Structure 1
Amino acid sequence: MLIGDKCVVSIDYTLKDDDGTVIDQSEAGQPLAYLHGFGNIIPGLEQELVGKVAGDSFQVSVNPEDAYGEHQEQLIQKVPLATFPDPDNLQAGMRFTAQTEQGDIPVVIADIQDDEVTVDANHPLAGLTLHFEGKVVDVRDATEEELQHGHAH
Structure 2
Amino acid sequence: MNTEVIKNTVVTLDYNVTDSDGELVDAGKEPLVYLHGGYDDIFPKIEEAVQGKKVGETIKVKLQPEEAFGDYDEELIQIEPRTSFPKELQVGMQFEGAPEGSDDEEFIIYRVTDIADDKVVLDGNHPLAGMSLIFTCTVTAVRPASADELAHGHVHSDDGDEEHCH
Same-fold call, TM cutoff 0.5: yes
The residue number in structure 2 matching 1:58 is: 59
Which of residues 5, 12, 16 is equivalent to 2:7? Answer: 5
Residue ranges of structure 1 left out of the alignment (5+ in a row): none
* Aligned residues: CA RMSD: 1.7
Is the CA contact 2:18–2:133 (under 8 Å) kept in the aligned structure 1?
yes
CA distance in 2, matches of 1:102, 1:43: 27
Is the CA contact 2:17–2:28 (under 8 Å) kept in the aligned structure 1?
no
Is the CA contact 1:42–1:68 (under 8 Å) kept in the aligned structure 2?
no
The residue number in structure 1 matching 2:160 is: none
Which of residues 135, 150, 157 is equivalent to 1:132? Answer: 135
1:1-153 map, 5 Å: 1=2, 2-27=4-29, 31-36=31-36, 37-84=38-85, 86=86, 88-99=87-98, 101-153=104-156
Residue ranges of structure 2 left out of the alignment (5+ in a row): 157-166
SS in 1 for 2:143: strand
CA shift digits 1:58-116 (9 cap, x unpaired): 011111111111011011111122222x1x21111111222452422111001111221
The residue number in structure 1 matching 2:163 is: none
Shift of 1:4: 3.3
Is the CA contact 2:63–2:132 (under 8 Å) kept in the aligned structure 1?
yes
Q: Which runs of 4+ in 1 moved over 3 A?
A: none
Is the CA contact 2:79–2:121 (under 8 Å) kept in the aligned structure 1?
yes
CA shift digits 1:17-53 (9 cap, x unpaired): 12211111333xx532111221122222222212212
CA distance in 2, matches of 1:148, 1:97: 30
Cα 1:102–1:75 change in 2 (3 A) is farther
Matched length: 149
Shift of 1:146: 1.2
